Amino acid sequence: MSIRICIVTPFAWSQNHEANEHVRAVAKSVEELGHTLAILAPSNRASELTAGRRALRLLEQDQQPLQGFVAVGPAVSVSRRERAGVPVGVRANLRLALGPGSFDIVHVYDPARMSLSNHALQITDALTIATFHSPEGVSHHAGKKRRERLLTRVDALTATSQRALEAARKRFPGDYQLLPLGIDIDRIDASSSTDRPVLLVEWHPDEKDTVKTILRTMQAIPEWDICVLRTKQFAGRPYIPRALRERCTLATARDEERRTSLISQCTAYVSATQGSERARAEAQALGVPLIEASSGESLASTLARCLESAPSAPTAAFDLSGSAENSGSAIDDHSTSALAKHLDSLYGELLKRRRPATRERSKPLADRPWILCDLHNHTEFSHDCSVPVVDLLDEAERLGLGAIAVTDHNAFAGAQLAHELSKERELTVIPGEEMKTERGEVIGLFIQEEIPAGLSMEDTIVAIRDQGGLVYLPHPFDRMHSIARPETIHRLLGEIDAIEVYNARLLFDAYNDEALRFARKYNMLMGAGSDAHVLQGLGTGLVRMRAFTDGEEFLVSLRAAEIVRRPKSLLYLQGLKWVAQARERRARAGVR
């Protein structure tokens, strides 16, 4: 099955960047898998910007899908303190490119920055993958709420290096996968050689002392030449001692072709601890020995021992931390074929989470009348509500509702009583309970007995299932309530029967919008409720659906249901709730 995939990178396509090298490797792997691919990125090349505008125009006018690289705007530098890193015009282009149904999967790089990737996560309705490449870029997203919002929109977390993974996990906790680097072994030419042995030393500005130690050691080994390699932009340069200036060169290589050319000419390679993971893997692919400090021995001692013992055939003296066979296995793990295999598994796993769209030829329950159903209500059996059960039923019938769900906080007696009383009425009552778990709340519908609070989300769902009930997730992204962690929701996605996409009592509509986006992404059944704690709030959030008699028919009816919003002033409803609670406290205390 062909998948439509979009990769979004915040780094200018017109400039060399390691993250974009990985994007190119992913693009090649995706094409090998037979999927359709588009790459969205900024650029400063006039020709690429012109071609990007043309592609977006064809998409808007002729619905011609995007394919290949598309420049969505000029590259704009973003500082750590910048809060609006994407110009309005670029945002509009991105919104057009990532319109509803455009792609199955959107794969973004370094979304912690306020950049193209971060904005793509905010607007897409596709399944999403976030890849962290730069450990330094993770710190851009400082706000906790913003980080939580980002995590709710990411379906899979990945990293291109162990350092990036560990840095990202501190700021964005979750289950990460380490992606292969995607080294194209067939393109690497290892035929270059030099007359004298050359030691290639990777330079990193935070590791000046290490390079200084290496250069000092090399002064005593005149048989070797030294090349200091810079792989980062604006990395500065080390001080070269006078005694080494005739046999020490400084080189800059930020693209794969130049980098592999330099590595292939060297005899041994010393990588920086915070250096390029890709350059290290390329050195392994070329069979260049990596010099690292052995256990109990400093880097200077290891370097002197290796270089002095075999200046003409150094590879025989190096401790490569494993055999040549293991080295070959290591580079195979980072090849383009390994990346393609990993991505194929990841994409397949994500697509399995999305429920198949229901396309029923016949219309089930078509002979049933349409009714309005409120799926979230409370009675006096909730600790924060004083509405009698009978009054709730009377008000529901007065409003013309066909069904309501009674979902008291950690109590089932009210729902049980309402269900018994409804047998003498035309109103259908769904017995339910809103349980507070260890982290987050969940509603059980069509249950038979009370479920205790304080259980884990998993155990609560099991208890609902044991009674033949349905799992209904209320206000899943309302940070004013106790909500489950994003990774918990993703893990238990298959156990959730329906999700509340409209709750009339939420302070911010953005929380409802987030739930609606989430439900659409996974083709989940959608519900709505007033979350009424006073009679005046009943019926402010409804579902228009076919009449039902049990849980099975309820789910069938919900497939063709419509969400009905009848909002009232939250300040008004909350004020009534506080007044009612105050009266109840005074009555209990015997105060008039």
Short-list 192, 198, 156, 199, CA closest to 174: 156
Which region among 98-112, 221-235, 544-558 has the lowest average model confidence (pLDDT)? 221-235
Q: Determine the average pLDDT of the residues in 528-555.
A: 93
Which region among 47-61, 108-122, 179-193 has the lowest average model confidence (pLDDT)? 179-193
Short-list 314, 327, 286, CA closest to 190: 286
Which region among 71-85, 172-186, 448-462 has the lowest average model confidence (pLDDT)? 71-85
How high is the pLDDT of residue 108? Answer: 94
Alpha helices (runs of H) in 375-412, residue ranges in sequence order: 389-398
- pLDDT, tens digit, for every residue of 420-464? 999 989 999 999 999 999 888 999 999 999 999 999 999 999 999
How high is the pLDDT of residue 234? Answer: 66
CB atoms within 10 A of CB 257: 10
Say which amino acid occupies 541: G
Mean pLDDT of the chain: 84
Q: Determine the average pLDDT of the residues in 190-205.
A: 77
How high is the pLDDT of residue 465? Answer: 95
The per-type count for the chain, helices as H runs and strands as E runs, is 19, 20
Say how far apart CA 504 and CA 107 lie, in whole Å.
33
Higher pLDDT, 308 or 184: 184
- Using 50, 70 and 90 to split pLDDT, how confident is the model at 216? confident
Say how far apart CA 532 and CA 540 lie, in whole Å.
8
Residues 23, 129 contacting (CB under 8 angstroms): no
Q: What are the angstrom distances between the C-alpha of 447 and each of 411, 451, 470? A: 12, 9, 8
- Using 50, 70 and 90 to split pLDDT, how confident is the model at 289? confident
Short-list 239, 202, 246, CA closest to 222: 246
Residues 382, 552 contacting (CB under 8 angstroms): no
Say how far apart CA 107 and CA 128 lie, in whole Å.
6
- Using 50, 70 and 90 to split pLDDT, how confident is the model at 368? very high
Residue 311 in this model has a pLDDT that exceeds 70: no
- Using 50, 70 and 90 to split pLDDT, how confident is the model at 181? confident
Q: What are the angstrom distances between the C-alpha of 145 and each of 84, 113, 171, 477, 546? A: 16, 15, 12, 11, 39
- pLDDT, tens digit, for every residue of 545-556? 999 999 999 999
How high is the pLDDT of residue 322? Answer: 39
Percent of the chain scoring above 90 in pLDDT: 39
Q: How far is CA 512 from the centre of its chain?
A: 19
Q: Determine the average pLDDT of the residues in 307-322.
A: 49
How high is the pLDDT of residue 547? Answer: 94
How high is the pLDDT of residue 376? Answer: 95
Q: DSSP states of 22-41 as a string?
A: HHHHHHHHHHHTT-EEEEEE
How high is the pLDDT of residue 57? Answer: 93
How high is the pLDDT of residue 84? Answer: 46
Q: Determine the average pLDDT of the residues in 92-113.
A: 90
Say which amino acid occupies 392: L
Residue 315 in this model has a pLDDT that exceeds 50: no
Residues 417, 389 contacting (CB under 8 angstroms): yes
Say how far apart CA 489 and CA 453 lie, in whole Å.
18
- Using 50, 70 and 90 to split pLDDT, how confident is the model at 188? low
At residue 468, the 3 state secondary structure works out as coil
Say how far apart CA 395 and CA 416 lie, in whole Å.
18
How high is the pLDDT of residue 549? Answer: 92
**SS3 per residue for 90-101:** HHHHHHHHCCCC
Residue 203 in this model has a pLDDT that exceeds 90: no
Residue 82 in this model has a pLDDT that exceeds 70: no
Which region among 58-72, 205-219, 288-302, 348-362 has the lowest average model confidence (pLDDT)? 288-302
Residues sharing a CB contact under 8 Å with residue 235, sequence separation 6 or more, in sequence order:
203, 204, 205
Q: How far is CA 166 from the centre of its chain?
A: 16
**SS3 per residue for 85-141:** CCCHHHHHHHHHHCCCCCCCEEEEECCCCCCHHHHHHHHCCCEEEEEECCCHHHHHC
- pLDDT, tens digit, for every residue of 383-405? 888 899 999 999 999 999 999 99
